[in-house]
Amino acid sequence: MCQRVIAPSVVAVQELRRSGTEITDDLEEEYYMSRLDAGLFTLQLIDYIMLDVCHTGPSSVCCTAHYIHSIVYR
């Protein structure tokens, strides 16, 4: 079963919003940066999974991953 991973600072700001606390521009910027950081973590995790699948899986999976990569990064 997959677990949803959320950065702690994102959770903290979400709780502040629910409680009705006023959110300043600095806090909003920190929230935005935390969301970007959480997205970067997710992309890095996907990269590691793809690397593992390409390394340990059948060659057809690796060829497909290389083909998709070549399409996306033209």
Query: Which pLDDT score is estimated for 39?
Result: 79
The pTM score is 0.48
Q: How many domains does the chain have?
A: 1
55 Cβ neighbours under 8 A, 6+ residues apart: 62
Task: Identify the CA nearest to 4 among candidates 41, 36, 50, 48.
Answer: 41
Instruction: Compute the distance between CA of residue 66 and CA of residue 60 in angstroms, rounded to an integer.
Output: 10
Query: Is the residue at 1 inside a domain?
Result: no
* Full residue range of the structural domain in which residue 28 is found: 8-72
Query: Which pLDDT score is estimated for 9?
Result: 63
Query: Is the residue at 34 inside a domain?
Result: yes
Query: Which pLDDT score is estimated for 2?
Result: 46
Instruction: Compute the distance between CA of residue 40 and CA of residue 4 in angstroms, rounded to an integer.
Output: 14
Which segments in the chain show pLDDT lower than 50?
A: 1-2
Query: Is the residue at 2 inside a domain?
Result: no
